[in-house]
Amino acid sequence: MSEQQPTHHPHDITEAADTAGTDGSVRGGTPRRSALAGAGALAGTAAVLSACGSSSDSDQSSGKASIDPQKPVDLTSTADVPVGSGIKASADGVTAIVSQPKPGEFKAFSSSCTHQGCSVNVQKDTITCPCHSSVFSLSDGSVQAGPAPEALPEYTVAVNGDRVTIS
């Protein structure tokens, strides 16, 4: 009597020809589907964590954001920044939050949250982080609600005519 061997389909991912055991596990006893799912989860986690990296355009230890003072960035028009609120503006590779807490008073802050570097946004009269709900003041960048540990670094602002520049 001849014994029948189990049939294997070439596209069956539960076994690999040279590494699978009879129970469908990869060396060490991990089921192949679990090993593949784990690898996918690790790749996804790495992508998410890289999105929350720290900003390279600020020096958080001094509280000042850094742009070459010899090359100020013309960021926006004064007319685009509402009194009592602010906007997110970008130019020359720099993104910043520009606010006008009082008529004629302009401030600019790093757009990277001091918690994990997520990009912050303006919501009415505050700056908020969509990742972990930190809230910052539009007038001085100070933390109003955590988990952010520090204020947003501030840029030096100059108003030339109707243009807001930062350095």
Would you kindly state where each structural domain of the chain is located, as residue ranges?
Answer: 1-51, 58-166
Alpha helices in 6-134 (DSSP H): 32-51
Which residue shows structure tokens 């501030």?
Answer: 154
pLDDT of res. 69: 78
pLDDT digits (tens, 9 = 90+) for 74-120: 999 999 999 999 999 999 999 999 999 999 999 999 999 999 999 99
Backbone angles phi, psi at 18, to 5 degrees: -105, -5
Half-sphere exposure of 139 (CA within 13 A, CB side): 6
Which is more confident, 6 or 66?
66
Tell whether domain 58-166 is in CATH 2.102.10.10. yes
DSSP assignment letter at 112: B
pLDDT digits (tens, 9 = 90+) for 15-70: 334 444 455 444 444 454 444 444 444 444 333 333 333 333 444 445 666 677 78
